[in-house]
Amino acid sequence: MYIVMFGPPGCGKGTQAEILHVKYNIPAISTGDLFRWHIKNQTELGKAVKCYLDKGELVPDEVTLNIVDERISREDCLENGGLFDGIPRTVYQASRLDELLGKRDLKISSCLNICVPDESIVTRLADRVIGSDGKTYNLVTNPPPGGMSFSRRSDDEPETVRNRLRLYHEMTHPLVEYYARKGIMHTVDGDRPIEIVSVELMGLIDLLAN
């Protein structure tokens, strides 16, 4: 199954993709994580995309689509599907993602839209931390285990978060219509505890699988 995890920055796409990955063994494909891996490892791609992530701007489409094409071609994804987290972010990317899957006779089964109001996003991202185990935590709603050291994402500065939210509303939110027209858009209220949101998403995936 190929599923788009959709919603504004900080709505919990990555958190839920990780939970769903553990439950269903579907690989989570996060473009943000792929870019951050390249930045951390100082690859040429990492050097080229760092300025976009730092400012909360979109990385150019061809760079993004190439990295996704390569990820889809790996065995785990071809065999077990994919939870797309952070892609697509524009209608253009959505149609290109359809093409990348289509050339392998695959397609998106569902778009899971995790709705969270902007006010909650700003608070959540101010409290987001990344633990030394690489996992995402929140100092208020999902604290890292006691004693674990943590860092913050450079794009969680309030001004950058505002830019990311602006871009989401302008460029990404129109995708709701794109997937609704295909009849595969499912919306859940993401402004509830993590476990409650997970249960609802699992219910939707179980329905799709049957």
- Catalytic annotation present for 55: no
Residue 113 found at the interface with ligand AP5 (CB under 6 A): no
- Catalytic annotation present for 13: yes
Scan residues 22-41 and list those touching ligand AP5 (CB under 6 A). 30-32, 35
Q: Within 10 Å of residue 74's Cβ, how many Cβ atoms?
A: 12
Q: How far is the CB of 210 from ligand AP5 (least distance, A)?
A: 26
- Catalytic annotation present for 182: no
Q: Which is nearer to ligand AP5, 61 or 180 (CB)?
A: 61
* Contacts (Cβ under 8 Å, ≥6 apart) of 63: 45, 48, 49
Binding residues with ligand AP5: total (CB under 6 A): 35
Q: How far is the CB of 189 from ligand AP5 (least distance, A)?
A: 9
Helix (H, G, I), strand (E, B) or coil at 4: strand
Q: How far is the CB of 114 from ligand AP5 (least distance, A)?
A: 7
Cα-based angle 17, 141, 164 (whole degrees, multiple of 5): 60
Scan residues 159-178 and list those touching ligand AP5 (CB under 6 A). 164
The distance from CA 74 to its chain's CA centroid, rounded to whole angstroms, is: 19
Measured between alpha carbons, how far is 66 from 95 in angstroms, rounded to an integer? 14
Q: Which residues are catalytic?
A: 13, 89, 128, 153, 164
